[in-house]
């Protein structure tokens, strides 16, 4: 009888976990948010070609 109750509790916990995971699973949403956060800082734009000195200056 205790085993049946434990199995029911495990099944209920797994169902709850599955619902939480399904609700919070939006593929690509995190990537979009990261890009939005990055772009909100208005990063400088690299306009040079192959120029190691210019690249170092751009990074600084």
Question: Which pLDDT score is estimated for 48?
Answer: 60
Residue 50 corresponds to which tokens in the numbers above?
């192959």
For residues 12-33, give the mean pLDDT.
80
Question: Which pLDDT score is estimated for 4?
Answer: 72
Residue 8 corresponds to which tokens in the numbers above?
């029911």
| Res. 60: pLDDT tops 70 | yes
Could you report the per-residue pLDDT of 25-51, keeping only the tens digit for each? 666 677 778 888 888 998 888 676 687
Question: Which pLDDT score is estimated for 27?
Answer: 65
CA dihedral (37, 39, 44, 47) in degrees, to 10, reads: 140
Domain ranges of the chain: 2-59
Strands (E), 1-60: none
């Amino acid at each position: 009888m205790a085993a049946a109750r434990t199995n029911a509790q495990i099944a209920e916990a797994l169902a709850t976990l599955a619902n939480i995971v399904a609700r919070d699973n939006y593929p690509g949403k995190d990537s979009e948010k990261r890009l939005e956060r990055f772009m909100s800082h208005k990063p400088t734009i690299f306009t040079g070609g192959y120029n190691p000195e210019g690249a170092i200056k751009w990074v600084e």
